[in-house]
Structure 1
Amino acid sequence: MKRIFDLTLALIGLPIVVPAILVCAMAIRWTSRGPAIFRQTRVGLHEQPFTCLKLRTMYADTRDAPSHETSASAVTPIGYWLRRLKLDELPQLWNIVLGEMSFVGPRPCLPAQTELIAARRERNLYGIRPGITGVAQVAGIDMSDPQRLAAADAAYLKDMSIAADLRLILATALGAGRGDRVGQ
């Protein structure tokens, strides 16, 4: 049922957000060099790697690392606003269509985040698709605290339902959470 919900919502939403993605992409390209769409390998369902899509919010030469380990100076001026308004996540609707992500679930991490991967593995969190948003994001828990993050994700697993997903999607849309923290 969750997959049908995700796919239906993504297929309805994608044509609606494509103009916003295009406008954001043009702003990114006008203000910094490099591609507008950022592609990064993340850990997904059953610990399988997939390519996560986002609007690029950092300079093209920024090292491949978790946001909390990246200097705030790596974020472009337009990227600051894209992150703050959570518009950088819009391309992930395509990841949902492809079956790689869900609207709600554990935020997908990088393969190098071994402590977080282990903490999620202990809680059987790789049996569900990673999400664009989730309990941890709404609560403001970022990936710098792997044990706390995995515990919050596990709490979602116990309460997982379409109603819970709708509450979390609505909370995210209304500005709950602060997104992935960028280092200092």
Structure 2
Amino acid sequence: MNNHQSLITKFAKLVKWVLDRLVAAIALLAFSPAILIVAIAIYMRMGQPIVFTQPRPGKDGRIFSFYKFRTMTSDCDGEGNLLPDEQRLTAIGEFLRRTSLDELPQLWNVLKGDMSLVGPRPLLVRYLERYSPEQARRHEVMPGITGWAQVNGRRLLDANWSEKFRLDVWYVDHWSLWLDLKILWLTVGQVLGQKEISQANHATSEEFKGNE
């Protein structure tokens, strides 16, 4: 990459940084009535906490607090163990996932600078030691609310981790502002169509246990 191309890339990344925060701030204001209604509904159905918080790795593996609206209860069996996810997922939680409203708190992550609107989805901290060196390259950029892997199969791809990570790394290597705009446009279409929300017979994605 020559100096001219490097300057263009740096400027594009600056534009992305500014747009992320600007759009997140506007979206938080625009969706504030929906956020309030969802928060009240969760509180009435499940009590507190309303927002699910979990440590996730961001750019370069830096750990941050990841936010989502809570979709499952904390019900346990007789021995104090949490019931399977499928049994704890509530009707309102299923609706929030189907409409992607559970992702709204991540706009605060974007505003804080933990995430971007577009980038590889932040996964569990324990996965960090399970990635191959190539797969770990997904952390070279900021994680996103949506990403290239999500618009090419959305959560169904969680059943095929190697393909998901291949798409994440492809995004890292081919990033541009136009690609981000394309991903956002495709995401809107998927959300409105409510397609490919989750794996069949799974409330949450299967765990990534490493490469064979």
In structure 2, the residue matched to 1:159 is 174
Unpaired runs of 5+ residues, structure 1, are 63-69
Q: Deviations over 1:59-97 (max 9, x none)?
A: 1358xxxxxxx6322211100000000000011011001
Give 1:113 shift.
Answer: 2.4
**Range moving further from structure 2, 174-183 or 134-143:** 174-183
- In the alignment, is residue 127 of structure 1 matched against residue 146 of structure 2? no
Higher RCO, 1 or 2 (CA under 8 Å, sep at least 6)? 1
Cα distance in 1 for partners of 2:108, 2:122 equals 15
Contact in 1 for aligned 2:140/2:172 (Cα 8 Å): no
Cα distance in 2 for partners of 1:123, 1:29 equals 37
Cα distance in 2 for partners of 1:167, 1:146 equals 23
State which structure, 1 or 2, has the greater radius of gyration over its C-alpha atoms. 2
Cα distance in 1 for partners of 2:103, 2:135 equals 28
TM-score, normalisation: structure 1:
0.85
Aligned residue type for 1:127: E
Which among 185, 196, 200 is matched to residue 170 of structure 1?
185
**Range moving further from structure 2, 94-103 or 14-23:** 14-23
Give 1:122 shift.
Answer: 4.0
Aligned residue type for 1:175: Q
In structure 1, the residue matched to 2:165 is 150
Cα distance in 1 for partners of 2:133, 2:87 equals 30
Contact in 1 for aligned 2:71/2:92 (Cα 8 Å): yes
Cα distance in 1 for partners of 2:87, 2:133 equals 30
SS in 2 for 1:103: strand
Cα distance in 2 for partners of 1:53, 1:180 equals 19
Give percent identity, aligned residues only: 36
Q: Deviations over 1:21-50 (max 9, x none)?
A: 110011111112331111111111110111
Unpaired runs of 5+ residues, structure 2, are 1-14, 77-83, 204-212
Contact in 2 for aligned 1:120/1:150 (Cα 8 Å): no
In structure 1, the residue matched to 2:111 is 97
Number of equivalenced pairs: 176
Aligned residue type for 2:101: L
Which among 62, 66, 70 is matched to residue 48 of structure 1?
62
Give 1:173 shift.
Answer: 1.6
In structure 2, the residue matched to 1:66 is none
Cα distance in 1 for partners of 2:94, 2:45 equals 12
Cα distance in 2 for partners of 1:145, 1:57 equals 24
Give 1:123 shift.
Answer: 5.2
Cα distance in 2 for partners of 1:23, 1:30 equals 11
- Give 1:65-76 correspondences, 5 Å limit: 71-76=85-90
